[in-house]
């Protein structure tokens, strides 16, 4: 069993990373405080160098390499954040870096990794394939493999984030963050709980996983890491089928609770953060806020959700915002059967304008199963102020003689 890193080790790591990483801000969110009923402060690690917390663990791990190990270069596998962290850390230390990435990696993450000077190898359909190829490369060339979460040095580096939170928010009661392989939460939980104990206090730590990739609950129940079958999720940063063995042992001892959130929950959280905090956060980085909005976390004092990353593909962000609006009842697609006569579109638009519903998109078709020759279908995407306003728009259309129905997303 790997020894739990001590408070002294976390503190030494934090000292060694001064000037390498940014001390990211912690900002009060009045909107989320109102939801939870107690103060909520956002730890904005999405503003970290490379756009995520991963630079902490990567930098600390690479700093521990011997001169001989550095001369052999490093290799890693990732779909984004770990890749960027290793690439920048290696560039800063003058170490050659090779990064294996799957073919479907978002273009911004690919370009950023290359921009930090790493040699990127695009091969395979999944991160699992990239991991296998990276391990084979390390065996073949002697390069040092830098794991994304399952290494003690990586856990120590990520734990420096916990010390920052405790320094900036000494009255913190609860810290919430996402769990993928477990490196972040293992480090933060061990660091902040030891720091709090030294100050005569306690801090609650809550982990959050996507419902579609929740390997931690069955692993905790079994008492050892369990591999699950994952399903697609927008939270690719925490899409991990099996927790790391080293983080798992720490999580069992230091993490108080693990909850799950849905795709809709994450989309709503991203939207709330955009509108109220004015920050861009990737789905995996927004799961703590998602848990608050979904009522999965109780307010017992000052709560700090970690916004662990902000590297979201612009095209995904566009889809997530639309989905978040729909999940919040502020965006709906409405199907309206109409007689195929001139002026029908204008009449429907006029009815909707009477209640202030904003028509965003229109699809007009005369083709479809069950349509008579004299019929047509009008499909409208409308923006409203919320579920009650959407219902008012539907009721007004019905009062005008139409038969609207909501089209499921």
Distance CA 154, CA 146 (A): 9
SS (H, E, C) 39-70: CEEEECHHHCHHHECHHHHHHHHHHCCCHHHH
Q: Which residues contact 34 (CB under 8 A, 6 or more apart)?
A: none
Catalytic residue among 54, 109, 193, 296: 54
Query: 330-406 — its CATH code?
Result: 3.30.70.260
Any catalytic annotation for residue 54?
yes
Nearest CA to 326 out of 397, 378, 278, 271 is that of 271
pLDDT by residue, tens only, the chain of 409 residues: 678 999 999 999 999 999 999 999 999 999 999 999 999 999 999 999 999 999 999 999 999 999 999 999 999 999 789 999 999 999 999 999 999 998 888 788 899 999 999 999 998 887 778 889 999 999 999 999 999 999 999 999 999 999 999 999 999 999 999 999 999 999 999 999 999 999 999 999 999 999 999 999 999 999 999 999 999 999 988 998 999 999 999 999 999 999 999 999 999 999 999 999 999 999 999 999 999 999 999 988 999 999 999 999 888 888 888 877 777 778 888 888 888 778 888 888 898 989 998 888 888 776 655 556 557 788 888 888 888 998 998 999 999 988 898 887 6
SS (H, E, C) 81-113: HHHHHHHHHHHHHCCCEEEEECCCCCHHHHHHH
Which DSSP symbol is given to 234?
S
Catalytic residue among 59, 308, 328, 381: 308
Same fold, 54-145 and 330-406: no
State the burial class of residue 194 (Cβ atoms within 10 Å of its Cβ: 0-12, 13-18, 19+): buried
Task: For the sheet with 331-339, list strands across it.
Answer: 358-365, 375-383, 331-339, 405-406
Distance CA 305, CA 115 (A): 30
Task: Give the tokens for residue 165.
Answer: 């939170």
Any catalytic annotation for residue 92?
no
Q: Which residues contact 291 (CB under 8 A, 6 or more apart)?
A: 176, 206, 208, 259, 261, 265, 297, 305
Strand partners, 361: 381
State the burial class of residue 285 (Cβ atoms within 10 Å of its Cβ: 0-12, 13-18, 19+): buried
**CATH architecture of the region 54-145:** 3-Layer(aba) Sandwich (3.40)
CB atoms near residue 354 (< 10 Å)? 10
7-52+151-325 folds as Rossmann fold (3.40.50)
Helices 81-93 and 54-63 pack at an angle, to 10 degrees, of 40
| The model's pTM | 0.86
Please report the pLDDT score of residue 366 as a whole number.
65
Sequence spans of domains, the chain: 7-52+151-325, 54-145, 330-406
Distance CA 58, CA 345 (A): 57
Strand partners, 43: 26, 306
């Amino acid at each position: 069993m790997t020894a739990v890193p001590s408070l002294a080790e976390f503190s030494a790591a934090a000292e060694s990373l001064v000037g390498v990483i940014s001390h990211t801000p912690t900002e009060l969110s009045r909107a989320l405080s109102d939801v939870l009923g107690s103060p909520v402060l956002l730890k904005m690690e999405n503003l970290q160098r490379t756009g995520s917390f991963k630079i902490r663990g990567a930098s600390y791990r690479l700093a521990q390499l011997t001169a001989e190990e550095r001369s052999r270069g490093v290799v890693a596998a990732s779909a984004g954040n770990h890749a960027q962290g290793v690439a920048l850390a290696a560039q800063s230390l003058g170490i050659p870096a090779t990064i294996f990435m799957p073919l479907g990696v978002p273009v911004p993450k690919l370009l950023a990794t290359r921009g930090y000077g790493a040699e990127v190898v695009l091969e395979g359909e999944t991160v699992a394939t990239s991991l296998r190829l990276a391990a084979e490369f390390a065996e073949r060339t002697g390069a040092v493999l830098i794991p994304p979460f399952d290494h003690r040095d990586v856990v120590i580096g990520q734990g420096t984030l916990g010390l920052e939170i405790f320094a900036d928010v000494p009255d913190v009661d609860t810290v919430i963050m996402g769990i993928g392989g477990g490196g972040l939460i293992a480090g933060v939980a061990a660091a902040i709980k030891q720091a709090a104990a030294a100050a005569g206090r306690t801090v609650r730590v809550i982990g959050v996983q996507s419902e579609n990739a929740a390997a931690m609950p069955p692993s905790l129940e079994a008492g050892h890491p369990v591999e699950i079958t994952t399903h697609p999720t927008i939270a690719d940063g925490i899409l991990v089928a099996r927790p790391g063995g080293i983080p798992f042992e720490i999580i069992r001892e230091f993490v108080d609770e693990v909850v799950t959130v849905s795709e809709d929950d994450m989309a709503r959280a991203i939207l709330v953060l955009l509108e109220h905090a004015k920050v861009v956060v990737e789905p995996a980085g927004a799961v703590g806020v998602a848990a608050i909005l979904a009522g999965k976390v109780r307010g017992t004092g000052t709560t700090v959700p970690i916004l662990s990353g902000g590297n979201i593909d612009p095209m995904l962000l566009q889809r997530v915002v639309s989905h978040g609006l729909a999940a919040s009842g502020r965006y709906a697609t409405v199907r309206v059967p109409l007689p195929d006569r001139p002026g029908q579109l204008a009449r429907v638009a006029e009815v909707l304008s009477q209640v202030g519903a904003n028509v965003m998109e229109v699809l007009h078709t005369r083709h479809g199963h069950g349509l008579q020759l004299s019929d047509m279908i009008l499909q409208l995407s409308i923006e409203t102020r919320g579920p009650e306003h959407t219902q008012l728009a539907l009721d007004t259309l019905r009062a005008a003689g139409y038969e609207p129905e909501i089209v499921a997303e």
